[in-house]
Amino acid sequence: MHGYPRVREITVDNLDALARGCAILGTGGGGSVETGLLSARRALETSGPVKVVTLDELADDDVVVPLSGIGAPTVSHEMLANEDDVVRLAAEVERIVGAPIAAVMSSEIGGNNGVEPVGWASRLGVPLVDADGMGRAFPEVQMVSMNVVGLPPNLIVLADVIGNVSVVRPVDGAWSERLARALAVASGAHSLMADYVLTAEDARDAVIHGTVSQAVALGSATVGQADPLAALTDVLSARHLVSGKVIDVERRTGGGFVRGSVVVESTGADRGRLVRIEIQNENLVVLDDGEVLASVPDLITLVDSASAQAISTEMVRYGQRVSVLAWPCDQLWRTPRGLDIAGPRAFGYDLDYVPVEEIGAVRA
Amino acid sequence: MHGYPRVREITVDNLDALARGCAILGTGGGGSVETGLLSARRALETSGPVKVVTLDELADDDVVVPLSGIGAPTVSHEMLANEDDVVRLAAEVERIVGAPIAAVMSSEIGGNNGVEPVGWASRLGVPLVDADGMGRAFPEVQMVSMNVVGLPPNLIVLADVIGNVSVVRPVDGAWSERLARALAVASGAHSLMADYVLTAEDARDAVIHGTVSQAVALGSATVGQADPLAALTDVLSARHLVSGKVIDVERRTGGGFVRGSVVVESTGADRGRLVRIEIQNENLVVLDDGEVLASVPDLITLVDSASAQAISTEMVRYGQRVSVLAWPCDQLWRTPRGLDIAGPRAFGYDLDYVPVEEIGAVRA
């Protein structure tokens, strides 16, 4: 629990704050929130507000469906989802589990995947759970808390914009990623996905709680502030790693991912210092001349230095004035299994994870 | 119906003949029959002979499961299937349709996919239907008779050697191919697939009948013959397009397919004439100096000139002495929809289909 004020409903009035907060928690990925904002707002206007519930408010055997988009965020940013996708997906889930869906949960609170579920819940007429499976964004299917606590990935359902529905029963988390990704790529690099369909009882020990409320709180923190960056850094208890200008962006889309790096040249007291952020959909590692300043699973977000609005890996451009913030992930990700699944080595970096608050030199 | 003697059982005694006939009907593809022979023989020895039934012998609502391997034949030739694949796949099919499987059918009688179902039927303890969905082999999922007659491709189930099981509900035949192929490629370029699960009643007008009996007859025709090639040509009423030496083989495996071409230099009366066979898993088109001698959907098979045994596109090698035979496909493939699905243009060739028996010059 994060100690943020509890949100009991998402309406057109707090949707923007939610989206800003999701962008911050997106650590550059999870898709740019603009498309989710459009579809969620339309759903709220036509189907009404979405109740936000805790898992304790659901009955033990209530069916909770974690939902997300899977694919390259570049594509989801350019292609609006078909509004019937979630209806087709829900019908398939209900057919398989033989019970109605009681609530929708974001698989990933970060980025667009934290915002879209508002529209999906509204469309299905069910509440949204105040929790998610990451507490942030991650690029791969197996990088969810349900996998960290050891639930078997026994059912994945995908629905694409064309109307195809697919079900995958993988042997483990790595295969859930491989097969779901292959289907998403074949469908044009984006699909809607239900992953780890579970009961409220099983979900209680397997998710990161309170993250919808957290996102709304983060999105509200900068409103009307004279120094939004300071306000955001404060509410996150984040480290401010560098402020400067983007002088290089390398970015390529392939195999359902966006990969590359961003270089920021400091314009602060340490003018000229170069900080490099490596990305795979999300910001993974911050390097200063080979020295690690922060790494996954801790959260790393680029924000506009003036407005403190998050800048996704899709939207970062040469010349932007940005600040890089980093702050601790949920304790779940710091367990041995959490680090196996989403630590630096899970992304191919040959380095040991050091919690961001324990890393020495921070020269902002 | 082909007028071949009806086969009522597959045992270790007629399995070899079935396999030889399936190789002939494979038109170069469907996978080399050696792996299917191994696994089918083991199944017959441990689980007993397989009854061969016509669809008229099944009750109207009996569930028939068309089965095949999907992927690059090169891979299936090198990787023995896990014997539990078919059990996992059958369990998923029965869970979805809510009824026991009454019989197995080859989706594709040609090549390994005509032989493997013997083992699968034996393992599941159900009969094999004397029919298939092609009357030959074709490289893509949508190229089946059930699609030609207009049945919706509403359920595909795949099981891979790793243990993953996937279900695809595609919007049409083209998407069934795209999504099933993506899953097969992700699983290492080969999976076991149930496609167009249907009732015996629906199957009766949607399949090519008698092809198990036909394969056994073709495989038996050359046994003990002084001139096996003449015997095979006769039983098939085939055209003998050329006999000669393989002087060039181009073959590459990618995206779940084998593609390329084979050039045969005649050693007959027209010595030196070059005939080119274009392949995508199967032999697609035979060209003689730009002139078409035969094309899909008619059947084109390379055989060893001495033994009249089929040579698959996997196994064809420089220097082999081969003969190229071509003969008419089932009438179903010559309908407008049949040609849309599996005529020359479906494979990217800008040429009109002409039935092989109507093509003029044949210089053997």
Closest residue, chain A, to B176 (C-alpha): A164
Compute CA distances A65 → A117, A216, A249, A303, B361, whole Å: 10, 21, 37, 31, 65
My answer on whether A170 and A271 are in the same domain is: no
Decide if B245 contacts B320 (C-beta within 8 A): yes
User: Is A144 a residue whose pLDDT tops 90?
Assistant: yes
Choose among B92, B166, B175: nearest Cβ to A162.
B175
Task: Tell me: pLDDT of B251 over 80.
Answer: yes
Minimum-distance CB partner of B178 among A163, A178, A186: A186
Question: Which residue from A minimizes the CA distance to B95?
Answer: A96
In a domain, A218, yes or no: no
Cβ contact, residue pair B162, A171, below 8 Å: yes
Question: Do B209 and B228 sit in the same domain of this protein?
Answer: no
B168 and B284 together in one domain: no
Identify from B84, B95, B158, B166 which residue to disrupt to test chain A contact, counting A C-beta atoms within 10 A and taking the largest count.
B166
Report pLDDT for B73. 54
Q: Does B142 touch chain A (CB under 8 A)?
A: no
Contacts of A165 in chain B (CB under 8 A): 168-169
pLDDT tens track for A226-244: 999 999 999 999 999 999 9
Among the residue ranges A32-36, A97-101, A303-307, B259-263, the one predicted with the least confidence is A32-36
In a domain, B2, yes or no: no
Yes or no, beta carbons of B166 and A168 under 8 Å apart: yes
Q: What is the pTM of this model?
A: 0.80
Measuring CA to CA, which residue among A138, A147, A168 is closest to residue B186? A168
CB A166 within 8 A of CB B169: yes
CB–CB contact B179 A166 (8 Å):
yes
Residue B74 backbone zone (phi > 0: left; psi -120 to 50: alpha; other: beta): alpha
Distance of CA A121 to the CA centre of its chain: 17
Q: Are A26 and A106 in contact (CB under 8 A)?
A: no
- The residue among A212, A219, A200 whose CA lies nearest residue A6 is A212
Q: Which of B166, B168, B187 is facing A169, going by the closest CB pair?
A: B166
Q: Do A141 and A71 share a structural domain? A: yes
A166 touches chain B (CB under 8 A): yes
Please give the average per-residue pLDDT across A176-187, as a whole number: 91
Please check whether residues A95 and A68 belong to one and the same domain: yes
A278 and A168 part of one domain? no
Cα angle B149-A167-B206, degrees, rounded to a multiple of 5: 15
Say if the Cβ atoms of A182 and B178 lie within 8 Å. no
How many structural domains is chain B composed of?
Answer: 2
ipTM: 0.75
Of A162, A165, A183, the CB nearest to B182: A183
Is the same domain home to A237 and A170? no
- Predicted confidence band of residue A138 (pLDDT cuts 50, 70, 90): very high
Last residue of a domain, one of A213, A235, A251: A213
Are residues A171 and B183, on separate chains, in Cβ contact within 8 Å?
no
Do A82 and A231 belong to one domain?
no
Nearby residues of A234 by Cβ (< 8 Å), 6 or more positions away: A221
On the question of pLDDT at A364 being above 50, the answer is no
CATH number of the domain at B18, please: 3.40.1610.10
Domain with B321 in it = 224-358
Contacts of B187 in chain A (CB under 8 A): 179
Q: Is residue A361 scored above 70 in pLDDT? A: no
Search chain B and give the residue with CA nearest A178: B186
Q: What is the pLDDT of residues B197-236, one digit of tens each?
A: 999 999 999 999 999 999 999 999 999 999 999 999 999 9
Q: Do A93 and A119 lie in a common domain?
A: yes
Is A99 within 8 Å of chain B by CB? Answer: no
